[in-house]
Chains A and B, each alone.
Chain A
Amino acid sequence: MQETDLHDLSDDADYAASIQQGSSSMMGSDSSKRSSPSEPEGAEVVYSKDNVTIHPTQFASERISGRLKLIKQGSSLFMTWIPYKGQNSAARLSEKDRSLYTIRAVPFTDVRSIRRHTPALGWQYIIVVLSSGLAYPPLYFYSGGVREFLATIKQHVFLVRSAEDANVFLVNDFQNPLQRTLSSLELPRVVSVASGPSTPSPVSDSPSNESSSISQVNGRQRLKVHDPARDISIQVLEKFSLVTRFARETTSQLFRESHSNGFGAFEKRYNNQSVEDFSHKASNDEEKTVDEIPVAPDPLEVDKLTLVWGKPRQPPLGSEEWATFLDNERRVMDSKALRKRIFYGGVEHKLRREVWAFLLGYHAYDSTYAEREYHRSIKKSEYETIKNQWQSISSEQARRFTKFRERKGLIDKDVVRTDRSLAFYDGDDNPNVNLLRDILLTYSFYNFDLGYCQGMSDLLSPILFVMKDESESFWCFVALMERLGPNFNRDQNGMHSQLFALSKLVELLDSPLHNYFKQNDCLNYFFCFRWVLIQFKREFEYEKTMRLWEVLWTHYLSEHLHLYVCVAILKRYRNKIMGEQMDFDTLLKFINELSGRVDLDAILRDAEALCICAGENGAACIPPGTPPSLPIDNGLLHFQQDDEVL
């Protein structure tokens, strides 16, 4: 799928302006660092690795590759990472960005720990955490070499593996064992060091920083927290927001809009019932809990950072407007504009059949009507061929084909309990239920390794409901599964990576809530499993689910908006969760019972605001290849796992 130029804002005036502004303010601190040479004199390079890459955003075109080196000078060891010059002209990477991320000779005396990540899919990466608590963005080793990197460090500085986590390596850790335990427990902050000073201090009170557009417009008070590391990270967060690639224009506009009013958006919202059509029940719950147990306030609210809030939702795209997106051969002329439009309002139900095929990637946006008709007919016969593979299995054969029988049995059990309360699927011998079964069984032959897994029928049901046609539904489902397939992997890696990213996002966007989850052993975020596995299918009524899905599928703002939706819902109920001191069991029960009670439009606005707020720091929480991103093709087979039962 072509997502590369999704957020290319280089032709956007506001973007250009903010970059300008950013560069003037950042040049200040940058130039003061010029004196620090990228390679100290008399130095010996003890390790050098090419194709070590950072992913400032989730878009492949915006990755920055460079060379990582370890340099020894006297008894000191330094690390540098210098991005390549003129690399990748397709990426509209400014010189600014490049120097922003450059790591110039950071001494290992400033390094606290290195965390190694070995995702099941994709490249190994490391996160270097400084003594200040700040961390550099993840460094991805495209050409391997993490082990060698660590081994080299070990030859020169004191490096020990953390007792708690075999993937954390502590540097110069001479503290007492208790201290050691505590510090290694601390997960590396997601907040990244913006420029590469050898110490993160210059970010602090430089006057140029004060003039940054964001601190100017929001004029907020800095949090009074007696944790210097946290203070610094907030400032870095601020600095980072300057170059936030996502919807810059929206950000500044929204900051301005809400600032003029003098109130935080949340206050404004809670005081304004016409804006807030949130169900009475839910808001009562929330009020009730406020006085029970004092709850750490939402940092975004305190910070007034949440001054950003989502745009009002628009009415769904209708036929007339849809026609304006098409040329005379019915190509979609500006897919980005279309996706943006759908992001803010969805589409009318009668258009879904046509539009979903584009959103899911079954049809190319630039295909003509005639080309699509042709494609459809080809695909139809292709579908029939695959379907025939299981249809031609005789009962004689099936008797000796346990795996087939089991798979079919599982599908049979699930289709009869999928959305049977809808007219479309109700009643005895409903032909649509049979279609669900045929499509799922055919899919399990199309993707035999993945097979059938509970939850898939939930994902197919709305697609069949919209597409009506068997073959069309099948191929749209295939397209969806290209992205969500890893949710159903046997080793659960797709789910783990999403829940992990979710925990990082909550840590970034609501650290008191994160700490609460941590103290209560809820950090596995398993209570969000159902949300993520089937894209909130069980959480909203059918129509709302379809609306949410088409919004998520636009991949406008982020491919991972669903994770921000999770954060938005959790934040809605944070006071209740913490105020009532919910433990894991109670929390899971509470979350399951939220089903049908969440106001989708309000949550989408919050999710949008959170996504904008988090900016690149948010994107950095989400490892590449995390579903629904397309899997990183690194030549590995993804579904090789032992197929014990099905």
Chain B
Amino acid sequence: MATTGNKNINAKLVLLGDVGAGKSSLVLRFVKGQFVEFQESTIGAAFFSQTLAVNDATVKFEIWDTAGQERYHSLAPMYYRGAAAAIIVYDISNQASFERAKKWVQELQAQGNPNMVMALAGNKADLLDARKVPAEATKVYAEENGLFFMETSAKTAANVNDIFYEIAKRLPRVQPAPNPSGMVLMDRPGERTASSSCCA
């Protein structure tokens, strides 16, 4: 859940999508600014955090990167439960990964947090020659399902920070009530201090 403290928001974000769609690569690009050609497969799950400045607030993303294989599906709810945002990733050069993305969307609509901000990322946008999933049809699909859609490339960094930025802007904010003492209620005492500034 997104929690606000003054202008600081903590938001849990989960990445879902088919094996090899580029979930880990997107996170690595966003968090460390790197791209690794042979990114290891994700076993279990990985957790990262990254802070973004949006207008006059900062959003600290707590990012869960998951293993994509169907066999580990039963573990997924553990991660998306309580998430404020999700990025569902597919590979534009792989039709099956798009089909799988749609399944994730369905599952989140049915099981996830109803206020969840969902983004659809058509990744590997640099592989234009190999494109199998046309952008136009996807746009329609995304609009119908209330998703925010972007094509990204973890390799070239295109749209990677942007997609996180757009999510940050869309997070529902609880307007903090005027608080004379300057104290802010947060769900985790350890994070009462303002998160460090942005690196986007």
Contact = CB atoms under 8 A, between A and B. Distances in A.
14 contacts: A410-B19, A416-B38, A417-B38, A453-B71, A454-B19, A454-B41, A529-B45, A585-B47, A585-B64, A589-B47, A589-B49, A592-B46, A645-B70, A646-B70
Interface residues on B, range: 20 to 34
A538 B40 contact: yes
Contacts of A454: 19, 41-43, 67, 69, 71-72
B43 A533 contact: yes
Interface in B61-97: 62, 64, 67, 69-72, 74-75, 78, 96
Contacts of B75: 492, 526
Interface string A276-320: 000000000000000000000000000000000000000000000
Contact of A585 (B62, B70, B71): B62
B15 to A, nearest CB: 14
A644 B100 CA distance: 13
Interface string A408-430: 00100110111011000000000
A458 interface: yes
Interface of B: 19-20, 38-49, 62, 64, 67, 69-72, 74-75, 78, 96, 188, 190
A256 interface: no
Nearest to A410: B19
A588 B71 CA distance: 21
A585 B39 CA distance: 22
A526 B44 contact: yes
A589 B48 contact: yes
Nearest to A491: B74
A454 B44 CA distance: 10
A488 interface: yes
A646 B71 contact: yes
Contacts of B64: 585
Nearest to B12: A585
Nearest to B42: A454
A110 interface: no
Interface in A416-455: 416-418, 420-421, 453-455
A457 B20 CA distance: 15
A488 B47 contact: no
Nearest to A528: B44
A488 B74 CA distance: 12
Quick one: which of A410, A588, A644 has the most chain B CB within 10 A?
A410
A492 B77 CA distance: 15
Given A420-B38, A533-B43, A538-B40, A413 B71 contact: no
B39 A417 contact: yes
Quick one: which of B69, B96, B190 has the most chain A CB within 10 A?
B69
Interface string A527-552: 00110011000100000000000000
Interface string A504-529: 00000000000000000000001001
B74 A588 contact: no
Interface string A394-418: 0000000000001000100110111
Nearest to A414: B41
A609 to B, nearest CB: 28
A372 interface: no
Given A406-B96, A644-B70, A530 B44 contact: yes
B188 A583 contact: yes
Contacts of A379: none
A591 to B, nearest CB: 9
Given A492-B74, A646-B71, A413 B19 contact: yes
Contact of A534 (B43, B45, B96): B43
A581 B191 CA distance: 12
Nearest to B70: A645
Nearest to A534: B43
Nearest to A451: B71
A-B pairs with the 10 shortest C-beta distances?
Answer: A529-B44, A645-B70, A589-B47, A420-B38, A413-B20, A417-B38, A530-B43, A530-B44, A454-B69, A588-B47
Task: Tell me if B's interface is mostly helix, strand, loop or mixed.
Answer: mixed
A67 interface: no
A581 B190 CA distance: 9
A646 B69 CA distance: 9
A127 B61 CA distance: 44
B71 to A, nearest CB: 5
A349 interface: no
Contacts of A410: 19, 69
A431 to B, nearest CB: 17
A490 interface: yes
A545 to B, nearest CB: 14
A436 B154 CA distance: 27
B142 to A, nearest CB: 24
B47 A592 contact: yes
Contacts of A420: 38
B62 A488 contact: no
Contacts of B38: 416-417, 420-421
Interface in A203-248: none
A645 B67 CA distance: 15
Contacts of A492: 74-75
A490 B71 contact: yes
A200 B78 CA distance: 41
A418 B42 CA distance: 11
Contacts of B44: 526, 529-530, 533
A458 B75 CA distance: 20
Nearest to A582: B190
B120 to A, nearest CB: 21
Interface string A553-585: 000000000000000000000000000010101
A417 B40 contact: yes
A593 to B, nearest CB: 9
A429 to B, nearest CB: 14
B11 to A, nearest CB: 12
Nearest to A455: B43
A482 to B, nearest CB: 19
A538 B20 contact: no
Contacts of B46: 588-589, 592
Contacts of B74: 491-492
A406 B49 CA distance: 33
A29 to B, nearest CB: 47
A526 B78 CA distance: 10
A277 to B, nearest CB: 28
A262 to B, nearest CB: 40
A646 B49 CA distance: 32
Interface in A604-646: 644-646
Contacts of A538: 40, 43
A60 B96 CA distance: 47
Given A410-B69, A645-B70, A646-B71, A529 B43 contact: yes
Interface in A147-169: none
A413 B40 CA distance: 10
Contacts of A530: 43-44
Quick one: which of B40, B67, B70, B71 has the most chain A CB within 10 A?
B71
A414 B190 CA distance: 39
